[in-house]
Amino acid sequence: MFRRILLLLSFCTFLAGCSNTNRAYFDSIKLAFQQQDITASSEKIRNNKKDLIAVKHGERYQVIMALSFSESGIDTWRSADNALFFMQNDVIVQTHGLNNDLVYQSNLNANPLAADSATQTDWHYITDIEGYGYGLDVETSWRRAGEESLKVLSNDFNTNLIEQHVKYTGAKPFYESELSWINRYWFDKSSGELLKSEQKISPANDWIRITFLSRAQRLIDAGSETK
């Protein structure tokens, strides 16, 4: 009995010493079992030591992912159920935990967002999609699509919209020619920060809509130009 009490006290001490990141992580686990979108308040976003993003995957409920670490230009984002997004300059280049994971993407050095030149720029690469096909050719062209007002955390931002026009070669035996769609990226005009994106990584995958909560909160707190 005494040993059980000691174990309980040790566990409580551990929980009390958890960082804000860990508390947010445990909260997300608890909320993940509820049939509703998971959200994060401005206070929670400010107090979290890790950057947070809101992710809507197809018709599923929204989840919150935290920046786990950055290495060699790749940011790794983790959800409460251990799904992972690997992003290079906010473009998804690898995933773990989806039905059809993006397991490989070539030619990352030519990413137009990495080069800070997304106007009329072409990017060709090869992808491997688990359960769909390997060595698939992808051709994309990037262009400016004008300005848009974007609402994040109840604030309106003036943004520049960049479009990535994607042409995908299907995989045998599911081969379909001329598969195409448009990924979209909204950049804050004042700071140049990406605030939202809509990305489809292959014909076999649902749309992934990402809102960069921590970036938006920092801009709001800094009094960045909003409408």
Using one digit for the tens of pLDDT, what is the confidence trace for 128-162? 999 988 999 999 999 999 999 999 999 999 999 99
71-77: average pLDDT: 95
Mean pLDDT for all residues in the chain: 83
Spell out the domain ranges in the chain.
20-221
**Cα distance between residue 90 and residue 193, in whole Å:** 10
Tokens of 182: 């448009």
pLDDT exceeds 60 at position 25: no
Domain spanning 20-221, CATH architecture:
Beta Barrel (2.40)
pLDDT at 48 over 60: yes
Specify the pLDDT at position 86: 98
Q: Residue 164: phi, psi to the nearest 5?
A: -110, 105
pLDDT per residue over 4-22, tens digit each?
433 444 434 434 444 444 5
Q: Identify which of 107, 161, 162 has the alpha carbon closest to the alpha carbon of residue 139.
A: 107
Average pLDDT over every residue of 18-38: 51
What's residue 35's pLDDT? 65
3 pLDDT above the threshold of 50: no
> Closest Cα to residue 82, out of 94, 69, 65?
65
Q: pLDDT (tens digit, 9 = 90+) per residue, 179-198?
A: 899 999 999 999 999 999 99
Q: Before 173, cis peptide (omega within 30)?
A: yes
Secondary structure class of 31 (helix, strand, coil)? helix
